[in-house]
Structure 1
Amino acid sequence: MLKTLGAGLIAASALPAMLASAGIASADDYAGQKYSDVMSALGDAGLTGVIATRTGDLVDDDDCMVTHSEKAPWLKGDDFSPVTDTVLLFLDCDAGVASAKASGNSKASPEGRAAMAEAKKEAQQEQQQAAADQAKAKH
């Protein structure tokens, strides 16, 4: 009886480890990327992206940042086979940098500095394009 009980306890203690390795693997290759870019990459890889959570509502889905991703831990069908083609995406849809009117990242955070650098780059490109358009209009 004790042998049977001991074997049962060993089997029961191994179950969580087996379940954890059966499809709850990390797929955090997408963290820090825009949702639209991630969806494109997933489509190219034959995978499906599903929004698991979303914080904020200041930007469109396509412009949200993926903060975390993971393979879906779901089972399907009568044989309970693991779902292998779905990735759960956790989105941050706040503004790149916080302002008096909108929540977002601190200007001092790495994310805030990156957003400010990107905005500065875009503004410079717009100024260059406007100057080129103005020069073209004069001729």
Structure 2
Amino acid sequence: MTKLFRLGLGVVTLTAMSLTLGSGVAFADAYAGQSYSDASKAISDAGQKAVIATSVGDSLSQGDCVVTRSQKADWMKGDNFAPVTDTVLLYLNCNAKLATAGKSGNSLGSPEGRAEKAAEDEQAAKDAAAAQAAAQQNQSSELLSPGGN
């Protein structure tokens, strides 16, 4: 009888905890991280309408702004209060990817800023390596040609 009581109490406790804390399942935002132009095209291709809910910053053109999050519209319309089901709200960040003198953006102290700086440094290293390889190829081509011409 005691085991049955403990088992029942355990089930009740777990049920209450799951209702209180939720299931813990996170839903990925399909448009977060995309540019506004890419996200709005994808939304349009899905037969829905993209609406800008908020926009922060002015360093980028609207099409280049980054979607920080999105959500389905949560309002009613018309005399019969029908829910809006064809609209996706987009929250945009139009700041530069990295802050510079006179332009707002992500600080190098933030995870986003550090990630962007690392990506820029990696791209610069790839570009420098490609330029060096091209210069070496050009130099060896000149050495192989007769008469130096």
TM-score by length of 1: 0.64
* Superposed structure 1 runs of 4+ greater than 6 Å apart: 131-139
For 1:22, the equivalent position in structure 2 comes to none
For 1:47, the equivalent position in structure 2 comes to 48
1:65 aligns with 2:66: yes
How many positions carry a matched residue from both structures? Answer: 114
Aligned ranges 1:57-136 → 2 under 5 Å: 57-124=58-125, 126-127=127-128
* Distance across 1 between alignment mates of 2:134 and 2:47: 42
Q: CA deviation at 1:89?
A: 0.8
* Distance across 1 between alignment mates of 2:127 and 2:41: 26
Q: Cα deviations across residues 100-122 of structure 1 (Å, max 9, x unaligned)?
A: 22111111312112222333344
* Distance across 1 between alignment mates of 2:138 and 2:97: 35
- Quick check: 1:27–1:71 contact (8 Å CA) kept in 2? no
Question: Structure 2 unaligned runs (5+)?
Answer: 1-26, 142-149
* Distance across 1 between alignment mates of 2:137 and 2:82: 62
Distance 1:59 1:74, change over 3 A: same
Q: Cα deviations across residues 14-66 of structure 1 (Å, max 9, x unaligned)?
A: xxxxxxxxxxxx88332232222211221222221111111100011122111
Distance 1:131 1:84, change over 3 A: farther
Letter in 2 for 1:102: K
Please say which of residues 81-90 and 29-38 is displaced more in the overlay. 29-38
- Quick check: 1:32–1:67 contact (8 Å CA) kept in 2? yes
Considering Cα pairs closer than 8 Å and 6+ residues apart, tell me whether 1 or 2 has the greater RCO. Answer: 1
Root-mean-square deviation (Å) = 2.7
